Amino acid sequence: MAKLPVNVINFAAGNTALYEKFIDYWKHYLKKDGEYDATVSFSEKEEKLNAAMKKEILRVAGITNLGDFPLESWSSHPTLNWATFAVVSVMIDAILPQTIIDSIGVYTDVRTISYGDSAAFNVESRDLFVVSKAGRAMRQGELHKQFKGQVTVLPELRELSVVVSLYRVLAGHESLADFTAKAVRSVETAVTVDAYTTFATAMDALDNAGDDALRFAGYTQDTLVGLCQKVSAWNGNKAVICGTQLALQDVLPADANYRYDLQSDYVKIGYVQTAFGSDILCFPQVAAYATPFTLSLADNRL
């Protein structure tokens, strides 16, 4: 049984089969091998899911006599219209949180809060305590205490308004399952671009002056290793090298005499997964739909 948010379970009134089917359908849609039922074809799943969605929509709308009137009459029923998008919204809720976490959770802090609430984030100090010399007769050294900072973030709401032909849905000519999956992808893409833009803006604000620079122009192995050492030492955690696949393909030893075979990770995935003692994190590219065939993430940054 898939793990579902509480609001989805409450909305389903105890029968969560539809929403579990949609999670399996979504993973099949993304071709996430090993995470979906491969014994049933995608087209068959879509057909069954559409039938289950119509059944759930009628339950929410309180309609049991669909066959008593022609579809033309039902397509203008206000309760049926409301129930259709209520079910679609809850189906999106069933998978969107985990989808967002899978997409950007490695470099963001994803939290679920109540509608209308704000979130407070504690900021830990990166400094250590000063260790001073002590005499034999001293009972205690110099006292030190650190305080956490706190940043309050007010959520910015996002909304997606879409249109679907209810008549074609009821007649079986339009797939609500495919429509809902595309709505999930739309929200996921928008949130991913927002998160990456915020991340990139923070990186642009790093000090790039003097010997303590945290930003460098141009790439060399020595510069990257030195920066990883600096970040690891000051953060108290091993640095991670992040970038798009195109940017990460250049993270290779400076010596041109190395070899890799056709079965190596570099050939299979386009970059190495660990380099110079640091792990590699690849940011999947996102299409910038405002301009044809352009991309949202910078390919010339690590």
For residue 145, being part of any structural domain is answered with no
Q: Are residues 176 and 282 in the same domain?
A: no
pLDDT band with cut points at 50, 70 and 90 for residue 203: confident
pLDDT tens-place string over residues 107-143 = 788 877 777 888 888 888 777 788 777 777 777 777 7
Same domain, 103 and 213: no
Residue 139 falls inside a structural domain = no
| Domain tally, the chain | 2
Residue written as tokens 């050939």? 267
The whole-number average pLDDT for the span 201-212 is: 68
Same domain, 169 and 71: yes
Q: Is residue 136 part of a domain?
A: no
- pLDDT(16) > 80: yes
Q: Report which of 147, 126, 121, 282 is spatially closest to residue 214, judged by C-alpha positions.
A: 126
The answer to whether residue 10 sits within a structural domain is yes
Could you tell me if 132 and 142 are in contact, meaning their C-beta atoms sit under 8 angstroms apart?
yes
Please give the pLDDT value at position 156.
83
3-state secondary structure 212-249: CCCCCCCCCHHHHHHHHHHHHHHHCCCCEEEECHHHHC
pLDDT tens for 39-88 read 888 888 888 888 888 888 888 888 887 776 666 677 777 888 888 888 88
pLDDT of 239 higher than 70: yes
Same domain, 181 and 232: no
What average pLDDT does this structure show over 253-260? Answer: 75
177 and 267 fall within a common domain: no
- pLDDT value of position 1: 53
207 pLDDT more than 80: no
Once rounded to an integer, what is the mean pLDDT over residues 173-201?
A: 84
Q: Region 86-93: what's the mean pLDDT?
A: 87
Same domain, 179 and 285: no
Mean pLDDT over 18-32 rounds to: 85
Q: Within this chain, do residues 70 and 97 fall inside the same structural domain, yes or no?
A: yes
Statement to judge: residues 76 and 170 lie in one domain: yes
Burial of 4 (0-12, 13-18, 19+ CB in 10 A): buried
- Does 151 fall in a domain? no
In a domain, 236, yes or no: yes
* Overall pTM > 0.85: no
Asked whether residue 36 is assigned to any structural domain, the reply reads yes
Q: Do 106 and 234 sit in the same domain of this protein?
A: no
Length of the chain: 302
The boundaries of the domain holding residue 264 are: 209-295
For residues 53 and 175, give the distance between their C-alpha atoms in angstroms, rounded to a whole number. 10
State whether 45 and 96 are in the same domain: yes
Question: 102 and 58: one domain?
Answer: yes
Q: Which distant-in-sequence residues (6+ apart) come within 8 Å of 55 by Cβ?
A: 18
Do 177 and 270 reside in the same domain of the chain? no
pLDDT value at position 119? Answer: 83
